[in-house]
Amino acid sequence: MKIVKNAVAGTLESSDIFIRVEPSEQLEIDIESVVKDQYYKAIYQAVDEVLKEFQVANGKFSINDRGALDCVIRARMETAVKRGGEC
């Protein structure tokens, strides 16, 4: 899947995550989180697995996590990818 347009998913509410995606030649991932010190690796892993699942190799992902669980991170990433992407 190729990221072809701007899109957002999620919210900035507690236990959610807000993801903004924009077209880019490279894959860029920027993660901010209220629990960055403890869970950065886990968040990155969830993000990375969704990108691999949908074969996304480009796009700029700006991620603002508000303490979302793994299943929420994966859901919001999938939504962002589907909204901004094209097969």
Partner 1 sequence: MRRTMLFLPGNTPNMLINGDVLGADSIILDLEDAVSPDEKDAARILVRNALKYQKAETCETIIRINPTESGFWMKDLDEVIPYKPHLIMPTKVDSAQVVQKVSAYIAEVEARHGMEVGKIGILPLIETALGVEQAFQIASADPRVVGLFLGGEDLTADLQCKRTKEGKEIFYSRSRIVCAARACGIEAYDTPFTDVEDSEGLVKDTKLAKSLGFSGKAVISPRHVETVNELFSPTQADIEYAHDVMDAIEEGKRQGKGVISLRGKMIDAPIVKRAQQVLEMELQMLGGVSIE
Interface residues toward partner 1, by CB under 8 A: 9-10, 13-16, 68-72, 74-76, 78-79, 82-83
Which C-beta is closer to partner 1: that of 3 or that of 26? Answer: 3
Which C-beta is closer to partner 1: that of 18 or that of 59? Answer: 18
Cα–Cα dist 14/25, whole Å: 32
Cα–Cα dist 71/68, whole Å: 8
The least CB distance from residue 67 to partner 1, in Å, is 9
Backbone torsions φ then ψ of 57, nearest 5 degrees = -120, 0
The least CB distance from residue 84 to partner 1, in Å, is 12
Backbone torsions φ then ψ of 28, nearest 5 degrees = -125, 130
